[in-house]
Structure 1
């Protein structure tokens, strides 16, 4: 008789949890922790606790349910306390074994009391609930201070491995493009086009969820797809061409509107590959583009190029927007740049990485300096209630002399032949 094996722990301890995943680089987690510990010291914060899965992925290598404690100035004393999924965490966390422990908030508090009490503890207060901050303050007998800006600043300049991941993510738009070309046609709904896009992207390896820093942000799996008379309907959920969505709880994205010959169609997609994001947008015409539509596209492209050419290390993050605005004024279309009326935004792009919306934000008034190694989007759009809307968004690596484009789609106004589409 074969005796059944007794399992004292889950098989995740024994089997390779990465076997069926995308390849993932071994980032320099100890170096990242050292930078964080030094930044905390400079900010006069005694220590930090990171419970958010994105910050955990960046600084420790795993998004499992856990807390990372980092004392100021002492990265070797940092510890990860894993609440659940220890079998996964032991393989994923990129720190020495002695820095990974099992336990929750009480275990963390006990460790802190052993190595030295803290008066202030940093927490990413933009992404954790107040109740967790209250529990942490009570457990450590410390004052909670927000360190979100500190964390985002440390993440803003990308390593070579991160840039490779971001480039792979950006190239996924080619699959979305193929889905749009195959499905868009008169009579087909925006939602049906989105279905074809989502199918192509997920089949090509995209994760069907995108990560935002904002607590209230969400996005349809196929991104934002809008057409015709939905294009000037700008929902308050983003500074972009939003569409209307299909419900009041998700009031942006593709709707049930049916495409018509002659429509502009705009697709703005956040693309998640193994946690890193591309953000690419292109514009299409259902059928043959008119001269007026081509003129509207050419103006948008000129504005895009003006913003792109203004990016270099050392300039303020508002500089690309101001350059775009200057080009729009010269063309007499400033009233339609990045929205119109009360929904116009003084904004032209943002950083990307483990989240879609990272620093820096390229908008008027932001004097933060752009640095070599940052990866940013440039996403001008011209939105007019009568002329329609055009958007061109690409992802750029900031180099020593300017930028390198990571996204790969041509800068074209794509026509969708109405008699050659599989409907």
Structure 2
């Protein structure tokens, strides 16, 4: 953790080569990267600026603020200061001799007004959505990235260990999440969870105890929980933790920009028998999916395996939410953003590839009663999978 963290030059070069190959394949002359996470991925710095990636040649990093820090953080060779976005077309033309005929932009995240401003300013002939190319590049993680995620996983495990020693009846859900989040922050948790969808807010305090776990709501998730108010109606709320009830803790951890997303079931004293059986069923579904993981198997295949196993275990109704409120996914890619491509969902015919990192989260929701589930992060390998998560795959009775 800290200011000594840098993305190696070789890592940036490999990323550059992969995105440029995709640009050439699609006959896109250049790519202008604006979104903060994409900028960091391809440049190694998250300072305010713009990265122009030509289909061939070295990229150009244009920094509004703050160039000296960007120079310390980024291993790119071409960095320059700009006073405003009006200078972008001139810098590109001066560096490459011309403006691109076709320019790729991150159209999945650019606000309409900002896109129109860039379009009017740049005067490029054609604009295309390059977000799918960026996401496909980021979807395959290098060994260096896996090592970063392993370090985040170690911090997450340390935080779950802390939870087991401090959880107690009488604490409110939000109070306890504040305790373990503060612990994680002390050891490097970045605090800010990065999410790409403009309607989604990342937060680390998704703790649902007892009946809170049976509350469906705003989240595109099996259960939302109570939340702190109608203004933030998801995650932990004011309900007090109690003995002998199921407590689901879905904790998201981030270190040096790389995320982990893990869920474990807790109980103080004893886990009720019905909840225990549901927790064990979720774990069995989780393991059944992992048994099928290997390159070439589609995301939809994994989803179907989970649904079939849930039905075989007698949990078709509560699986992935109560009837009428079910979600159609069981996992998601993860890395520099909490939720990335690809999504393990019904009907997705995208095949698994070595290097993908995914969070697998089968969950059962008994409406107005409780939730049960588990979530782990794994990496697809050439022959199967490798766990990235380090938290023991068990039910914690404290």
Three-state SS of the structure 1 residue aligned to 2:183 is helix
Is 2:196–2:339's contact at 8 Å kept on the other side of the alignment? yes
Q: Partner residue of 2:158?
A: 175
Q: Partner residue of 1:272?
A: 254
Q: Partner residue of 1:105?
A: 85
- The alpha-carbon distance between structure 1 residues 235 and 161, as it changes in their structure 2 partners (threshold 3 A), is same
* Cα shift readout 1:13-64 (whole Å, capped 9, x = no counterpart): xxxxx9x436344152123222222211211222111011100111111100
2:46 counterpart of 1:67: no
The correspondence for 2:297, drawn from 315, 337, 358, is 315
The correspondence for 1:81, drawn from 62, 75, 95, is 62
Q: Partner residue of 1:40?
A: 23
Q: Partner residue of 1:132?
A: 114
Q: Partner residue of 2:138?
A: 155
- The alpha-carbon distance between structure 1 residues 303 and 387, as it changes in their structure 2 partners (threshold 3 A), is farther
Is 2:212–2:368's contact at 8 Å kept on the other side of the alignment? no
Three-state SS of the structure 1 residue aligned to 2:65 is coil
The TM-score with structure 2 as length reference comes to: 0.94
**Larger-gyration structure (1/2):** 1
The correspondence for 1:373, drawn from 347, 355, 370, is 355
- Matched ranges for 1:199-348 at <5 A: 199-220=182-203, 222-348=204-330
Is 1:183–1:192's contact at 8 Å kept on the other side of the alignment? no
> Which structure 2 segments of 5+ residues have no match?
none
Q: Distance in 2 between matches of 1:397 and 1:318?
A: 17
Is 2:222–2:326's contact at 8 Å kept on the other side of the alignment? no
**Structure 1 residue 387 displacement after superposition:** 5.5
Aligned length: 393
> Which structure 1 segments of 5+ residues have no match?
1-17, 417-423
Q: Distance in 2 between matches of 1:328 and 1:58?
A: 38
The TM-score with structure 1 as length reference comes to: 0.89
Three-state SS of the structure 1 residue aligned to 2:87 is helix
RMSD: 1.7
Is 2:250–2:262's contact at 8 Å kept on the other side of the alignment? yes
2:96 counterpart of 1:95: no
Three-state SS of the structure 1 residue aligned to 2:317 is helix
Q: Distance in 2 between matches of 1:387 and 1:363?
A: 26
- Matched ranges for 1:378-397 at <5 A: 378-385=360-367, 388-397=370-379
Q: Distance in 2 between matches of 1:373 and 1:273?
A: 20
**Structure 1 residue 279 displacement after superposition:** 0.8
**Structure 1 residue 184 displacement after superposition:** 2.5
Q: Distance in 1 between matches of 2:63 and 2:225?
A: 41
